[in-house]
């Protein structure tokens, strides 16, 4: 299905061999939280808007009470000096089915290749049964070469047996990178596997890893201040939400069963 639209926003910059970092929604939204902070912190500029008929057929209401289509965006950050330039992939959604997930991932790798980039970093979460005190960051990659490159005290590379399959774009980008003679690495931080839980702490640990590996000079104090604010907000909301959702969920279940009554073949 030829339903992908990639719109360029502004001028295409000259980037030299950039690394793309991906953080789409997933468990605990760990990847999304990390990439959105990074885009903000680095003052990265928007380069592409990607929309698709295979994204969810729904819209969001934003803080200005206006409607927004689900969108995935690519930002870039050009550094002076030795640091490698970055492309940053953030979005409201993931592609919803197998075929579009593969198609999307290939398009992103082609986009990196169009800037002569050869490396992709993906960010995600590992859902635990309880809130981790200090989330461990695991990594896995397309080759032992890239795993060695990013290995440090901050990262555990013994992921085998810890998780099942890595589902979605975070997994496919690394898997398909190898096929395209690129390199890929995934950083996955532990988080609480509850759908209401936002994996900020996991995102923080991932940001420390990226900061250390790529020399990003992230202002960790600012990050920690933001984390405190978000956590206080969330504690209030969660109380309300969990009550509402329990009731609505039961209603939903009942109505699903009820709505299948009376069919004829």
| Positions 181 through 240 that interact with a copy of itself (CB under 8 A) | 184, 186, 188, 193-196
Residues 6+ apart with CB under 8 A from 17: 84, 85, 115, 116, 117, 118
- Min dist CB 120 to a copy of itself, Å, is 11
Nearest to 141, CA basis, from 172, 171, 185, 188 = 185
Q: CA torsion 49→55→56→60, rounded to 10°?
A: 0
Could you give the CA distance from residue 109 to residue 112 in angstroms, rounded to a whole number? 5
Residue 83 DSSP class: S
In this complex, which beta carbon is closest to a copy of itself, that of residue 15 or of residue 74?
74
In this complex, which beta carbon is closest to a copy of itself, that of residue 63 or of residue 239?
63
- Min dist CB 153 to a copy of itself, Å, is 17
Restricted to residues 23-52, the positions that interact with a copy of itself (CB under 8 A) are: 24-27, 31, 51
Could you give the CA distance from residue 138 to residue 159 in angstroms, rounded to a whole number? 6
In this complex, which beta carbon is closest to a copy of itself, that of residue 99 or of residue 220?
99
- Min dist CB 2 to a copy of itself, Å, is 11
Q: Which residue of 81, 153, 236, 260 would you call a contact of a copy of itself, by CB under 8 A? A: 260
Number of residues in contact with a copy of itself under rule CB under 8 A: 93
Could you give the CA distance from residue 155 to residue 138 in angstroms, rounded to a whole number? 6
In this complex, which beta carbon is closest to a copy of itself, that of residue 134 or of residue 247?
247
- Exposure string for 35-71, b = 16+ CB within 10 A, e = fewer: bbbbbebbebeebbbbebebbeeeeeeeeeeeeeebb
Restricted to residues 119-178, the positions that interact with a copy of itself (CB under 8 A) are: 124-127, 129, 140-144, 147, 157-160, 162-168, 170-172, 174-176, 178
251 binds a copy of itself (CB under 8 A): yes
3-state SS assignment for residue 170: helix
Restricted to residues 54-83, the positions that interact with a copy of itself (CB under 8 A) are: 54-69
In this complex, which beta carbon is closest to a copy of itself, that of residue 125 or of residue 135?
125
Could you give the CA distance from residue 51 to residue 208 in angstroms, rounded to a whole number? 31
In this complex, which beta carbon is closest to a copy of itself, that of residue 17 or of residue 242?
242
252 binds a copy of itself (CB under 8 A): yes
């Amino acid at each position: 299905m030829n339903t992908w639209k990639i719109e360029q926003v502004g001028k295409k910059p000259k980037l030299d061999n950039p690394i793309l970092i991906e953080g789409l929604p997933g468990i605990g939204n760990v990847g999304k939280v990390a990439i959105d902070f990074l885009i903000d912190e680095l003052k990265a500029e928007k380069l592409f808007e990607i929309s698709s008929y295979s994204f969810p057929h729904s819209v969001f209401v934003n803080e200005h009470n206006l409607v927004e289509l689900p969108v995935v965006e690519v930002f870039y950050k050009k550094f002076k000096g030795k640091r490698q330039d970055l492309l940053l992939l953030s979005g409201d959604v993931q592609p919803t089915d197998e075929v579009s997930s593969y198609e999307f991932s290939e398009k992103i790798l082609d986009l990196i290749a169009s800037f002569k980039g050869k490396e992709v970093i993906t960010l995600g979460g590992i859902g635990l049964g309880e809130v981790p005190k200090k989330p461990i960051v695991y990594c896995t990659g397309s080759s032992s070469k890239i795993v060695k490159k990013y290995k440090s005290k901050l990262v555990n590379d013994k992921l085998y047996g810890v998780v099942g399959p890595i589902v979605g774009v975070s997994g496919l980008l690394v898997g398909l990178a190898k096929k395209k003679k690129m390199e890929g690495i995934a950083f996955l931080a532990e988080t609480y596997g509850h759908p209401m839980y936002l994996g900020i702490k996991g995102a923080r640990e991932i940001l420390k890893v990226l900061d250390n590996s790529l020399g990003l000079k992230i202002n960790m104090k600012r990050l920690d201040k933001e984390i405190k604010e978000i956590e206080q907000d969330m504690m209030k909301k969660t109380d309300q939400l969990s009550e509402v959702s329990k009731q609505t969920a039961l209603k939903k279940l009942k109505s699903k069963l009820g709505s299948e009554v009376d069919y004829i073949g």
